[in-house]
Structure 1
Amino acid sequence: MQERPPSEFDAGAEFDRQVDTLIAKGYPEAAGLDTEAFTALLAPLRATAVAHGASLRPPAPGRAPFVVVLTRALAPIEWAMSRTTLARGSKAGFVDRLYEPGAIERFVPTDATRPPDERAYLLFDVERGEEFCGAVPEDAMATIAQRGRSTLTIEEGIALVTHHPDALEKNRCFSLAGSRCGDRRVPAIWISQRAPKLGWCWAGNPHTWLGMASAARRAAA
C-alpha cells in the first residue's frame, strides 16, 4: 500500500480492482453465483465508495482507504483464508488447528461491529494498527474505542489481506477483536510457514508482532 497524493486516488477504479480480485479468486462460485450476478450484487457499493472518495486518506503502508467485505454468508471463513497470500509469496493462507471443531462459527461480530449488510459492505479508513504491537489487546481495544474507531471482525481482516496482501508483514500483523466467542480469545492474522494464518491470542497477553486492526466506519449500499 504505497502512499500516493490524494488527487491520484480514484475510488471507482479501486473498487473495480477489488471486485476483479474477488472474481479472480473464485468468490462468485463460493457464493453460488455466476460472475454477472456476483458483479451485480456488489455494484451498488461502488456509488458509496465513490461518494466518499474525496474525503478518504490515500493508501499508505498499513492503511487502506476502503475494502470490500464479504461475510461468511457468501464465503466460508476457512475457504476465504485459503484464498489469501502474502505480497511476496504464493502459499495459501490457512486457519490454525488450535481452533477446535465448530469454534470458527462461534466467533461472531460484537454489538459494536455488527455488519450493515448480511452479505457485502464497505469498510472505510482501515489500519492494521502496528502502533499497538506489544500492547495488551484489551488496552488497544480501549484506545481504539476512545478514538471513535472500531476493531475489525474476522471477515474484515481476511478482506484486508485479500485486497492488500502487503498489509501483512513480518512483525506487523494484527488482531481482530471485532469477532468474539464469549471467552478471552481474540482472533488474529499473522505469518506462519510463509503464509497468512488465522489464529487467536488471549485478550490479556501482549505480542510484539501483533497490533490491533481498526476502521473508521462501515457502510452498506
Structure 2
Amino acid sequence: MPLPALPPVADQAEKLIEIGATGPLTPDLLRKEAAALPDRPGLLVVGGLAPSVIAPLMRRAGRPGFVVEDMTDADDFAPVTEVPDTPVWLLEDLERGDDLQNASPAEAEEQFAARARVPMLLTEGVQWVLQAPEVLERNHCFMTTGSRLRKANGRLDARTPAVWISNGTGRDGKERRDAPKVGWCWWNNRHTWLGFGSGARRYAV
C-alpha cells in the first residue's frame, strides 16, 4: 500500500496553526517560514516541539494520541542525527521502513547509513501523523531512531522511541484502544510490526 500523500507545505502550516502545534512560532511567523521553503513534496517540521505536548494532538479512530505512562522523560529524547539550526525545515522522501520490519534499531541504522537515509526524529514522526494520520496502520507502524536519550554518564539509553497504535491493554486502558501512541522499544529487539521512519534529506533555508 502506498503511503498517504502529504498536503502542500502551506496547507501543512495551516494545519499546525489550527491544532496549536506551532511551538514558539506565531502563526504569521510559521506561515512566513513555510513560504520560504520550496513547494515540493515533504513534511514541514517545526523544530523544538515537545513530544509530550504534540502527541495528544494526534488523532486516530476519533481518539487522541498519548505518551505511554513509563516514558515520562519523552521530552528528553534529543536528536542524535544532524538537524538544521532553523525554526522549520522540510523532511523529504519519507519512508515508514516497512521493508525493515523485524530488524532491530541497530540493524536499521546500518541500513540507513548504506542507503544514505536520515533517521526520523520522534517529533518528526509525531508531526507526520499529525499531517497524515493514515500513515499509522495496524501491523505497519514505525520507530524513530533519530531521537535518543543520553544518560548522565554519556551513554545512550537502550530505549528507542516509536509511534504506533494502542491495543487498549495494560496501563493504556480500554478507552485508548486504536489511539495513536508514543512509546519505546529496546535498541537490540526486533518487532515484526514496526518499521523505521526516515527521510532522504532535511532541507532548510
TM-score by length of 1: 0.78
Gaps of 5+ in 2: 150-155, 167-176
* 1:32 shift after superposition: 5.8
Alignment partners' CA distance in 1, 2:31 and 2:16: 10
1:191 matched to 2:165? The reply is yes
1:15-26 mapped onto 2 (5 Å cutoff): 15-26=9-20
Alignment partners' CA distance in 2, 1:184 and 1:118: 29
1:37 matched to 2:29? The reply is yes
Instruction: Determine if contact 1:141/1:212 at 8 Å carries over to the other structure.
Output: no
1:130 pairs with one of 98, 111, 126: 98
Alignment partners' CA distance in 2, 1:38 and 1:161: 19
Deviations along 1:71-104, one digit per CA (max 9) or x if unpaired, are 22xx322111111112xx221111111113xx22
1:96 matched to 2:75? The reply is no
Deviations along 1:136-184, one digit per CA (max 9) or x if unpaired, are 2211111111001111011111111111111110000000000011121
Whose helix fraction is larger, Structure 1's or Structure 2's? 1
* 1:44 shift after superposition: 1.3
1:175 pairs with one of 139, 143, 156: 143
Q: Kindly provide the amino acid, as one letter, of the partner of residue 81 in structure 1.
A: A
- CA spacing shift, 1:3–1:148, aligned 2, 3 Å: closer
1:68 pairs with one of 22, 26, 44: 44
Give the match for residue 57 of structure 1.
Answer: none
Give the match for residue 162 of structure 1.
Answer: 130
Percentage of identical aligned residues: 35
* 1:211 shift after superposition: 0.7
Give the match for residue 62 of structure 1.
Answer: none
Instruction: Determine if contact 2:86/2:204 at 8 Å carries over to the other structure.
Output: no
Alignment partners' CA distance in 1, 2:141 and 2:25: 32
Q: Kindly provide the amino acid, as one letter, of the partner of residue 174 in structure 1.
A: F
Give the match for residue 215 of structure 1.
Answer: 199
Instruction: Give the superposed CA RMSD.
Output: 2.2
Alignment partners' CA distance in 2, 1:78 and 1:105: 6
* 1:135 shift after superposition: 1.5
Alignment partners' CA distance in 2, 1:135 and 1:37: 40
Deviations along 1:85-141, one digit per CA (max 9) or x if unpaired, are 12xx221111111113xx22321101xx22213421110000011111112221111
TM-score by length of 2: 0.84
* 1:2 shift after superposition: 5.7
